Amino acid sequence: MKLNCLIVDDEPIARKLLEGYIERIPEVSLIKKCKNATEAYEALYETPIDLIFLDIAMPTITGTEFLRSLRRAPLVIFTTAFANFAVEGFELNSVDYLLKPITFERFYQAVQKAIDRKTPLHPQPIPDTPDYIFVKQDSKLVRINHVDIEFIHAEKDFCWIFCSGGTKYFVSKHLKMFEEILPLNKFLRVHRSYLVNLSKIKTLKGNTLTLGTEEIPIGANYRQLLMEKLRL
């Protein structure tokens, strides 16, 4: 079985080099080359990934911030031009830390370590998950703190994120992606179209939740788990 992998690097030359190295190793298969964290989030949603070759010094969202934001992270090999991030990289349980320029011999050694640690059904846990997400709005990425999110409503292939104070964001993401990246102990899917912040629930009556001024339906398939989470 091959390891499905991603390259996440904002430098085209670096992406091309790693792509060439991957083509020389039959045990790994390149799924996508990503130039930023946003593209990487999308790739992780679309295809099961076993291994990420991850640059650290990227604009907007760094490699370490991206990795910390993943609730169930694949194996990671950091690829960077900066040695000063090495300690943080290994604290995040990375497989290896490759300094640019990367030789094929060194790259191959790192991939063999990943193969030895291959656990696609049990990804390595990442400590200290951040309490925020980034979403794309127009041409920029906007940070939203978990505590500000009241609920997320899905409409086909898009979602509305409703936040405290009446602020809301329209994003071209599936609800499943938010279910994956938001912490399980704070957020719960209560309907096929709704993901709610448990701390924002004001009332529960029949098959309806109240969050702020909004009423949220409870799906029959989700009710039992909701009751358990609320200890009811």
DSSP 146: G
* 114-173 confidence digits (pLDDT tens): 998 875 445 555 555 678 989 888 888 899 999 999 999 999 889 999 998 889 999 988
Q: Which residue has the tokens 């650290």?
A: 56
pLDDT at 88 over 80: no
Does 122 map to a domain?
A: no
Give me the half-sphere count of Cα atoms (radius 13 Å) on the Cβ side of residue 168: 11
pLDDT at 108 over 60: yes
Provide CB contacts within 8 A for 183, sequence distance 6+.
Answer: 71, 129, 146
- Tell me: do 85 and 164 sit in the same domain: no
- Tell me: do 99 and 158 sit in the same domain: no
- Band the pLDDT of 221: cuts 50, 70, 90: confident
- Tell me: do 7 and 109 sit in the same domain: yes
Q: Is the dihedral of CA 83, 84, 87, 90 positive or negative?
A: negative
- The CATH number of the domain holding residue 68 is 3.40.50.2300
pLDDT of residue 119: 52
* Contact yes or no for 63/55 (Cβ under 8 A): yes
* Contact yes or no for 21/86 (Cβ under 8 A): no
* Contact yes or no for 194/201 (Cβ under 8 A): no
Q: Report residue 48 CA to chain centroid gap.
A: 12
* Contact yes or no for 31/93 (Cβ under 8 A): no
Does 61 map to a domain?
A: yes
Structure pTM? 0.53
**Best-predicted range by mean pLDDT among 18-32, 68-82, 177-191?**
18-32
Report the distance separating Cα 216 and Cα 42, nearest Å.
27
pLDDT of residue 215: 92
Least confident of 20-29, 65-74, 143-152: 65-74
| Residue 112, both tokens | 């063999």
Among 140, 187, 185, 139, which Cα is nearest to 161's? 187
* Contact yes or no for 43/32 (Cβ under 8 A): yes
Arithmetic mean of pLDDT over the chain: 87
- The whole domain housing 50 covers 3-116
Does 127 map to a domain?
A: no
**Best-predicted range by mean pLDDT among 157-161, 179-183, 219-223?**
157-161
- Tell me: do 91 and 160 sit in the same domain: no
pLDDT of residue 120: 47
- Tell me: do 94 and 13 sit in the same domain: yes
- Tell me: do 30 and 95 sit in the same domain: yes
Split into its structural domains, the chain has a count of 2
Does 15 map to a domain?
A: yes
Give percent of the chain with pLDDT exceeding 90: 50
pLDDT of residue 144: 93
* Contact yes or no for 77/99 (Cβ under 8 A): no
- Tell me: do 92 and 186 sit in the same domain: no
Mean pLDDT of 61-67: 90
Report the distance separating Cα 30 and Cα 7, nearest Å.
8
pLDDT of residue 128: 57
Among 22, 150, 99, 181, which Cα is nearest to 32's? 22
- The CATH number of the domain holding residue 205 is 2.40.50.1020
pLDDT at 87 over 80: no
* Contact yes or no for 76/113 (Cβ under 8 A): no
Mean pLDDT of 33-59: 92
